[in-house]
């Protein structure tokens, strides 16, 4: 009983990895198939968006896997296959887009905005300290009397 429970927990917590490449897609030449797998691992499933086409079950991912294999069989190099997919679907199809050109703005905008937020926060804190906005002085005599009157009336 205890052993079967442990096996069930193990199988539940550590599911077997199921690759989505179907047997009909696999190329006969192992070297070409290895190239296709490496390229597929770098391409994003346009439906799932956070999986490579090698891991996705979506029909569009299957079409992209077939397209990659067709381009390899046509004699394209890895770079030519990637360029073909990028020209057809855009740089979004890459799991790791380049960090040059117009993408450089996107890559640098996050750290720049964080740096800008830190600078604004520091200047705001310093200005509050300089003008004494954080100094809480005690109540004046008039305010104390008004407070006592309000407390006593209740």
pLDDT at 137 over 70: no
Taking the domains of the chain in order of start, what are their residue ranges? 2-93, 103-153
Residue 17 confidence (pLDDT): 44
pLDDT tens sequence across 34-60: 888 888 888 988 888 788 888 888 888
pLDDT tens, 57-112?
888 888 888 899 999 889 888 889 999 999 998 888 888 877 777 778 888 899 99
pLDDT at 102: 77
Q: Which two tokens stand for residue 146?
A: 């008004």
For the entire predicted model, the pTM comes to 0.56
Residue 45 DSSP SS3: coil
- Count CB-CB contacts under 10 A for residue 107: 13
Pair 44, 92: CB distance under 8 Å: yes
The CATH number for 2-93, chosen from 3.50.50.60, 1.10.8.640, 3.30.450.40, 3.30.1010.10, is: 1.10.8.640
Counting DSSP H helices and E strands in the chain, the numbers are 6, 0
Chain-centroid distance, C-alpha 74: 33
Rounded Cα distance between 22 and 31, Å, is 17
Question: In the prediction, which pLDDT does 24 show?
Answer: 65
């Amino acid at each position: 009983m205890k052993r079967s429970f442990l096996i069930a927990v193990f199988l539940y917590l550590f599911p077997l990895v199921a690759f989505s490449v179907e047997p009909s897609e696999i190329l006969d030449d192992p070297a070409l198939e290895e190239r296709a797998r490496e390229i597929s691992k770098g391409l994003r499933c346009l439906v799932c968006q956070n999986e490579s086409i090698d891991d996705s079950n979506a029909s569009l991912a299957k079409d992209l896997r077939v397209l990659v294999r067709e381009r390899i069989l046509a004699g394209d190099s890895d770079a030519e296959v990637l360029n073909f997919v990028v020209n057809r679907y855009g740089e979004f199809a890459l799991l790791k887009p380049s960090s040059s050109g117009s993408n450089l703005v996107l890559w640098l905008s996050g750290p720049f905005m964080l740096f800008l937020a830190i600078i604004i926060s520091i200047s705001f804190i310093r200005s509050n300290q300089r003008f004494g906005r954080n100094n809480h002085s005690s109540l004046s005599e008039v305010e104390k009397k008004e407070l006592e009157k309000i407390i006593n009336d209740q």
